Amino acid sequence: MPMSYPSLLQTLSTPLLKSVAPLLFGVLCGLLADTVQAQSPAKILIVNSDATVNKYRQVKEAFTLQIGTYAGRIINFDVQQSGHPELLEKLIKDESPDLIYSIGSQAYQLASQFGGSKPVLFSSVINWQRFERRDNSYGIANELSLTQELSLLRFLLPGLPRIGVIYDPHFSAERINEARAQAKELGLVLVEQTVDDEHPLAQHLDSLLDKIDILWLIADPGVLADRVTVETIFSYSSRHKKPVYTYSDAFMNYGASLVVAADTPTMGRQAANMAQAILLREPLKETVQSPAGSHITLNACQLGKLDTRYNADALDAVNQLLECH
């Protein structure tokens, strides 16, 4: 004869379980509520400084694709197109989004101004450190860290151990300290030259370029003050037959040999992962992350003219290869 098991009702009717049932029910409801809260689709407001800017468009597309179904609803606000940035304040009040993702400096400033207690996430903000940050502010930096830049330089041009760098201590002292430690790890020597009001750049360029294998032009507003300064740096480097390594494709026209910048779509994907972590209240190692992807332009033509070899095994990592055609 098959054994008969007690039904759930019978089990619950035992005196012991009768007494603990309300407690169990409460715990179960609590767990369910937490799960629902954690998994319910979020409402995200994307504030874009100008949707017609290609880089902003790319980063937004990547964000939207990566966040996927986690975002139940995405509301868009284009600062440029709206013509009335103050409309954002009303939109935030009306919609009460769970998170505001701001793309570009203008969007970030407005989101911070009108966002109240909502978490504000940013990307594509040039030199984000210049803005005041609140506790509910998170982001993906627009520039690779100097340590990343140095590692990729070592990867692409391994035969150039003496790296010259010009910086203004008011802007870059801390970053250069990190870079110095990283250079040591990579077996590189950082030959540093500081500039300030009393010691203008041209005074030092000849002596610096004599001591180095490559000039590393970092994003330092104290150094790259104007177009004339940039032209002076490239003109001296060319005269000394030294390649220039830098962070933006804008310098290709001046004759940069290697440019390593942040990869735009990766920033959007990183922002989406960070948004998810913020909404799930997961612990974050860093509230502002460096970009995880790189975009590399190698000017093989210029390197050839300077008789400088590059690492051919790194060619599959190069996005743009400029040859002398």
Partner 1 sequence: MMIKYPTIFRQWRAWISVVLWALLSIPIAPAGTPETVFFYNPESSVDNFAALKAEFDDYLSKQGAYSFQPFSERNTFEVMLAGKPQGVYLLSSWHYLQLNAKTPLEAKLVGTAKGEPQQRKILTAKDIDNIPALAGATIAGAGSEDYLRSQLQQMLGASYAALMPKIKLLSVPKDIDALMAVSFGMASAALSSENSLNKLALINPKQHAQLKTLASGEKSFLLIAAVAKPSQSDAQPLLKIIETMQQQPDGEKNLKMLGLDGWKRIDALDTSLVKQLRLP
Residues that bind partner 1 in the complex, under the rule CB under 8 A: 145, 147-148, 151-152, 154-155, 158, 185-186, 263, 266, 269-270, 273, 276-277, 282, 285-286, 289-295, 312-321, 323, 325
Q: How far is the CB of 126 from partner 1 (least distance, A)?
A: 19
Nearer to partner 1, 177 or 320 (CB): 320
Nearer to partner 1, 65 or 250 (CB): 65
Q: How far is the CB of 67 from partner 1 (least distance, A)?
A: 11
Those residues whose C-beta lies under 8 Å from the C-beta of residue 214, and which sit 6 or more positions away, are: 153, 157, 160, 162, 163, 164, 242, 243, 244, 245, 257, 308
Q: How far is the CB of 315 from partner 1 (least distance, A)?
A: 4
Contact 104, 50 (CB under 8 A): yes
Nearer to partner 1, 67 or 208 (CB): 67
Residue among 152, 163, 194, 308 nearest 241 (CA): 308
Q: How far is the CB of 155 from partner 1 (least distance, A)?
A: 5
Nearer to partner 1, 209 or 214 (CB): 214
Own/partner long-range contacts of 303-307 (Cβ < 8 Å, ≥24 apart): 303/157, 303/243, 303/257, 303/258, 306/241, 306/242, 306/243, 306/257, 307/241
77 three-class SS: strand
Contact 88, 76 (CB under 8 A): no
Structure tokens at 4: 């008969």
Nearer to partner 1, 58 or 136 (CB): 58
Helices (H) and strands (E) in the chain, counts: 12, 13
Q: How far is the CB of 285 from partner 1 (least distance, A)?
A: 5
Nearer to partner 1, 31 or 315 (CB): 315
Nearer to partner 1, 76 or 320 (CB): 320
Q: How far is the CB of 190 from partner 1 (least distance, A)?
A: 15
Quick count: other Cβ atoms within 10 Å of Cβ 126?
11
Which 8-state DSSP code applies to residue 277?
A: H
Q: In what order do the strands lie in the sheet with 189-194?
A: 189-194, 162-167, 214-217, 244-246, 258-262, 294-299, 320-322
Nearer to partner 1, 174 or 286 (CB): 286
Q: Give Cα 256 to chain centroid, integer Å.
A: 23
Structure tokens at 153: 């330089």
Amino acid at 87: L
Q: How far is the CB of 297 from partner 1 (least distance, A)?
A: 9
Q: How far is the CB of 295 from partner 1 (least distance, A)?
A: 7
